[in-house]
Amino acid sequence: MQNEADNSFIYSPNITEFVTVSGQYCIFVENCISYSTFDLLDKARKILALLYIKGSLLPKPGQVYEDENEKFVTEEDWSIIHDSIQKKLGNYDEYLDIINPESLKTAEITSASISENIADIYQDIKNFITLFNIGTEEIMSDAVGECQLNFEEFWGQKVVDSLKAIHTLLSKYDIPTNDEISGDDDPDSTDGPDTSNWIFTKRQSDYNNLN
């Protein structure tokens, strides 16, 4: 186990700034239904770009525990986020992507989804930020290490793919700025999806009640 000095890096500016941006990203995603289609894409472009920059500056700490870090976002939580964004984007959600672009012989064109990317990124970032906020220094260190690894192998590429698709939409298409929304999709509402029953919300609440 690392000593206290070894864990001092978790309070470094790069990690502190990444934690801040991660929190902003989660808030944005959880309130996605409050935006028009244009605002959703425009805000996503900005926060995703910032998230990528801050993610690229994360250090590579050694893992303290051999056990896998606890996960807080369930499949149901993921589906709520994905479905909300997919419904908001409608026909703007899907885009063409290239699998294995590094090799012309094996490259394949396939259909991809902005809402799926955003939900996948959210899952990793929400797991990280929740673990970081409620954990010990050793757990916080593990959370940073796992998030940095996932950035390189998974969600970093998701960010890049989403930015490319969103850039194309905003620069070449006339995206609605005032969607006709009714009921639960009122754009003036800032409530977003009801997260009170989400498992990570319950766990964080239980932890806070113990302290």
pLDDT tens, per residue, the chain with 211 residues = 444 446 678 899 999 999 999 999 999 999 999 999 999 999 999 999 999 999 999 988 665 556 788 899 999 999 999 999 999 999 999 998 877 656 666 667 889 999 999 999 999 999 999 999 987 888 899 999 999 999 999 999 999 999 999 999 999 999 988 765 433 444 333 333 444 444 445 444 554 454 4
| The predicted structure's pLDDT at residue 7 | 66
CATH of the domain at 203: 1.20.120.1550
Domain hosting residue 125, numbered range: 5-210
| Contact yes or no for 95/43 (Cβ under 8 A) | no
The per-residue pLDDT for 190 is 37
Looking at the structure of the chain, the number of domains it has is 1
